[in-house]
A and B are shown apart, each in its own frame.
Chain A
Amino acid sequence: MSAADLQAITLTLRLAFISTLILLALSLPLAWWLSQTRSRLRVFCEALIALPLVLPPTVLGFYLLLALGPNGPIGGTLERLGLTHLAFSFTGLVIGSVIYSLPFAVQPLQNAFAQIDRRLLDASACLRAKPLDRFVSIVLPLSKRGFLTAAVLSFAHTIGEFGVVLMIGGNIPGETQVVSIAIYDHVEGLNYGAANQLSLWLLGFSLVVLMLVYGFNRQGGMLRT
């Protein structure tokens, strides 16, 4: 495997790790609020978060390109503050991935939170457990699977990301050239051998990760019963 391919792999893993961490941190309060609130805003927020499921990634990428670039609302503001805009940078990719994978992190967590028996929370409240204590001692352990699913789906979804990165990344080796883009580049360059090799690596890696997770999940299930 060439040095450029290895660089693409490490870059992809770094992107997936960072995006997953940010997604989990962001989704935790968001999913909890969505699972508990009776606000009318809920429907709107749920729809907004689910949008990346429906929108073609290239459309999402195009809007992000306009927003993060030097003429867009976000990139433009940064430029005026004397900073550089975010399109075609690793930071821009992280932002894109977080938005693109948001439903994959929020929905499993929200489902896990919604399934928690209210009576447990009420009982612990009667035993004078404070809200934070209730959340840490009851909600979090009971939604362990939700967390795992959210983490794995966000991670996997980021690794497989293509359309968004194609638009906002710019295919720059070492900075924004992720594995999926490198494969596309090899195919466009009629270099089928290299494309095959990298694709096989991606296939093997994804399979192993998913098997580890399902194995772990099953084990956890058996321990619980």
Chain B
Amino acid sequence: MIKCWFGMLLVVAFSFNTHAAELRIAVASDLRFVMPKIEQAFQQAFADTQTQVIYGSSGRFFSQISNGAPFHIYMSADIEYPKRLQQEQPGTGDVVAYGDGQLALWQRGRTSPDMDALRAARRIAIANPQHAPYGQKALLWLQQLPEWPELEGKLVYAESAAQVAHFVRSGSAEVGITALALVLSEELRRQGSYLTIPPTDGYPAIQQGMVITARGAAHSASQDFVDFMQSEQARQLLLDAGFIFPDAAR
């Protein structure tokens, strides 16, 4: 029995060691479909660097990193979280904006949704504005529409931008407002159609930000990755995935 325990402890100890060299990146869920491409390109550029990407909600990552989570880089869907981390946790690197997300209307079927579809819908799904960046911006966009009073009662709240897609896909809601980067994924393109809502349509930019965590400062590849994210190659991948770079256009 003791032997078995010891063996298990060894396994645990070793699994720590094997992961120690990998660059561990906490990534907001809206990047889920573009990240594998970025990872691949990064590994080609820096041949000996292994990465491990973990997807999740920006807010949850924030509280986890504040409490010592072993992530080297934190890529949030809302730049406010990395900014707060930098203020609260000594040793955190500088916050870098890596692109703006966009909203999209999404519905099932082959026809792109329009404002009529929004008005006709019995249920409109958005992510929870309390903690999901895309939900917050979706609510602001809806609130400035002239139709807002009649739309207000139709809202249902999903836990995340991805769950908005589940709601619509299952038919529980007719229309959803979620991340353009999600509805551009192959999986959702097969299921439904979208309409891009650019930030010029009346909501503040969904500025995304990343930061090297206090723990990541010691990892040799952290800075390489942050630099790579600002490279032309990474920007092109992000553009294709529905992100925009307002600073570059100006």
A, B: real partners: yes
A85 touches B68 (CB 8 A): yes
B55: CB under 8 A from chain A?
yes
A52: CB under 8 A from chain B?
no
Which listed residue, A72, A87, A174, A188, touches B69 by the CB 8 Å rule? A87
A69 touches B55 (CB 8 A): no
A123: CB under 8 A from chain B?
no
B166: CB under 8 A from chain A?
yes
Task: Give A90 to B52 CA distance when docked, in angstroms.
Answer: 17
Residues in B neighbouring A89, C-beta threshold 8 A: 16
Min distance, Cβ A106 to any Cβ of chain B, angstroms: 22
A70 touches B68 (CB 8 A): yes
Q: Chain B interface (Cβ within 8 Å of chain A)?
A: 8, 11-12, 15-16, 18-19, 24, 29, 32, 52, 54-56, 60, 63-64, 66-71, 160, 162-163, 165-166, 182, 185, 187-188
Hey, what's the 0/1 contact readout for A62-93 against B, CB within 8 Å counting as 1? 10011001111001000000000101111100
Task: Give A84 to B94 CA distance when docked, in angstroms.
Answer: 26
Residues in A neighbouring B163, C-beta threshold 8 A: 188
Residues in A neighbouring B70, C-beta threshold 8 A: 88, 170, 172
A18 touches B67 (CB 8 A): no
Which listed residue, A18, A85, A170, A188, touches B64 by the CB 8 Å rule? A170
A190: CB under 8 A from chain B?
yes
A185: CB under 8 A from chain B?
yes
Which listed residue, A14, A70, A174, A187, touches B67 by the CB 8 Å rule? A70
**Would you give 13 A-B contacts (Cβ < 8 Å), ordered by A?**
A69-B68, A87-B68, A88-B70, A167-B64, A170-B70, A170-B71, A172-B52, A175-B15, A175-B16, A185-B55, A189-B29, A190-B185, A190-B187
Which listed residue, B19, B55, B67, touches A189 by the CB 8 Å rule? B55
Evaluate whether A189 and B162 lie within 8 angstroms (CB atoms) in the complex, with A87-B68, A172-B54 already known. yes
Q: Chain A interface (Cβ within 8 Å of chain B)?
A: 14, 18, 62, 65-66, 69-72, 75, 85, 87-91, 166-167, 170-175, 185, 187-192
Task: Give A153 to B162 CA distance when docked, in angstroms.
Answer: 33
> Can you name the residue of chain A whose Cβ is closest to the Cβ of B162?
A188
> Can you name the residue of chain A whose Cβ is closest to the Cβ of B68?
A70
Task: Give A185 to B11 CA distance when docked, in angstroms.
Answer: 25
> Can you name the residue of chain B whose Cβ is closest to the Cβ of A171?
B54
Residues in B neighbouring A88, C-beta threshold 8 A: 64, 68-70
B67 touches A175 (CB 8 A): no
B12 touches A91 (CB 8 A): yes
Residues in B neighbouring A185, C-beta threshold 8 A: 55
Min distance, Cβ A67 to any Cβ of chain B, angstroms: 10
Which listed residue, A18, A172, A188, A189, touches B8 by the CB 8 Å rule? A18
Main secondary structure of the interface of B (DSSP, over half): helix
> Can you name the residue of chain A whose Cβ is closest to the Cβ of B29?
A188
A71 touches B165 (CB 8 A): no
> Can you name the residue of chain B whose Cβ is closest to the Cβ of A11?
B15
Residues in B neighbouring A85, C-beta threshold 8 A: 68
With a 10 A CB-CB cut-off, give which of A14, A65, A75 has the most chain B CB atoms. Answer: A65
Residues in B neighbouring A14, C-beta threshold 8 A: 8, 11
Which listed residue, A69, A90, A172, A191, touches B187 by the CB 8 Å rule? A191
A172 touches B24 (CB 8 A): yes
Task: Give A14 to B66 CA distance when docked, in angstroms.
Answer: 28
With a 10 A CB-CB cut-off, give which of B12, B64, B68 has the most chain A CB atoms. Answer: B68
A65 touches B67 (CB 8 A): yes
Evaluate whether A174 and B15 lie within 8 angstroms (CB atoms) in the complex, with A66-B67, A188-B55, A191-B187 already known. yes
Evaluate whether A190 and B182 lie within 8 angstroms (CB atoms) in the complex, with A65-B64, A172-B24, A175-B19 already known. yes
A170 touches B32 (CB 8 A): no
Task: Give A65 to B63 CA distance when docked, in angstroms.
Answer: 9
Residues in B neighbouring A170, C-beta threshold 8 A: 54, 64, 69-71
Residues in A neighbouring B66, C-beta threshold 8 A: 69
Which listed residue, B15, B52, B188, touches A190 by the CB 8 Å rule? B188
Task: Give A187 to B163 CA distance when docked, in angstroms.
Answer: 9
Residues in B neighbouring A70, C-beta threshold 8 A: 67-68
> Can you name the residue of chain B whose Cβ is closest to the Cβ of A189?
B32
> Can you name the residue of chain A whose Cβ is closest to the Cβ of B64?
A170
Task: Give A62 to B67 CA distance when docked, in angstroms.
Answer: 10
Residues in B neighbouring A174, C-beta threshold 8 A: 15, 18-19
Task: Give A173 to B187 CA distance when docked, in angstroms.
Answer: 23
Residues in B neighbouring A72, C-beta threshold 8 A: 67
Min distance, Cβ A92 to any Cβ of chain B, angstroms: 10
